Amino acid sequence: MRVLVIEDDAGLRAQLVENLKDAGNVVDAAADGDEGVYFGREFEYDAAVVDLGLPKRDGISVIKALRGLGRSLPILILTARAHWQDKVVGLEAGADDYLTKPFHMEELRARLNALMRRAAGHASPVITVGAFALDTARKEARVGDAAVELTAFEYRVLEYLVINAARVVSKTELTDHLYEQDFDRDSNVIEVFIGRLRRKLDPDGDLNPIRTVRGQGYRFSPEESG
């Protein structure tokens, strides 16, 4: 998942970036409101963490600007002042949830995951498609009753495909949302990971969970098993 962090405090920003990266996300960080809006305009994100007290352009104005650009990504606001006025104005401006500083990183990750999952239309942390179940809270994949051993990157590819199972995901989109900006963007690497995932999820080759849509990309759409 690709997450945008807009936070002016360098210490907290570094912690947020590190933590969200550890959780398997691609993270861009902006130190002020203007930079945040620039990132939001130039790239597509799956979620944003926005501090309300930002220099140059406050958080409320950033949220309004992002919504004004037609961005429907879920936004989590951070606020040091625990005033309800701020929370309500933030939510009214288009934010989806709030956290009051100081907060626990686990709480932030859980809220962010829930937001991204809901944005894709999944209410529960466990997403089930056919015989496949993906536990986004515990980062586990199961086929039937058996757990599937996946590497961190394999899981991220699978998670993105499962969360967006309703549509076709192009290779470029996968690269954009799963790789750092400066990463060598070789689409062959994606093909290799898809191949590995197919073998791990469907060793017998009768469920065919990840389909290739010619000229467009991939879609997670397994055969309905009895």
Partner 1 sequence: MAQTSRIGLRARLLLTSTLVLGLGLGLTGWVLDRSFTAGVVAGAQEQLKLLIYSLLGAAEEDGTSLRFPASLLDPRLEQPESGLYASVSDAHGTVIWQSRSLQFGNVASQQLAKTPSNLKLVPGSFEFRETDGYFEMFYRVIWEANGDQLFTFHAVAEQTPFRSAIASFRRTLLLGMAAVVVALMGAQVLAVAWGLRPVGVMAARVRAVEAGHRERMGDDYPPELSGLARNIDRFIEHEISSRDRYRTAMDDLAHSLKTPLAVFRNALSSGHAEDEKLLRDQLDRMETTVAHQLSRAMAARPVVLAGWTAPAPLTERLIKALRTAYIAKDVTAEHHIPADLVLRCDERDLMEMLGNLLENAFKYCRSKVVIGAEGGSTVRLTIDDDGPGVPEHQRVQVLARGARGDTVESGHGIGLAVVAELASSYRGGLTIGESPLGGARVTLELPGNTS
Q: Which of 13, 87, 156, 177 binds partner 1 (CB under 8 A)?
A: 87
What is the phi/psi pair of residue 193, to 5°? Answer: -65, -40
Among 11, 42, 84, 144, binds partner 1 (CB under 8 A): 84
Instruction: Pick the stretch among 14-22, 96-104, 135-143, 206-214 that binds partner 1 (CB under 8 A).
Output: 96-104
Nearest to 1 by CA among 48, 70, 51: 48
User: For partner 1, which stretch binds (CB under 8 A), given 40-48, 77-85, 152-160, 206-214?
Assistant: 77-85
Residue 148 near residue 142, CB atoms below 8 Å? yes
Q: Helix 105-119 vs helix 10-22: angle between axes, to the nearest 10 degrees?
A: 60
Is the Cβ of residue 92 or residue 191 nearer to partner 1 in the bound state? 92
The single residue among 34, 97, 135, 140 that binds partner 1, judged by CB under 8 A, is 97
From the CB of 85, what's the least distance to partner 1, in Å?
Answer: 5
From residue 223, how far is each of 128, 163, 211 by CA, in Å? 13, 17, 10
Q: Which residues pair with 220 in a beta bridge?
A: 210
Rounded Cα distance between 99 and 40, Å, is 21
Task: For residue 160, state whether it binds partner 1 (rule: CB under 8 A).
Answer: no
Rounded to a whole number of angstroms, the minimum distance from the CB of residue 62 to partner 1 is 17
Q: Which residues bind partner 1 (CB under 8 A)?
A: 82-85, 87-88, 91-92, 95-98, 102, 114, 118, 123
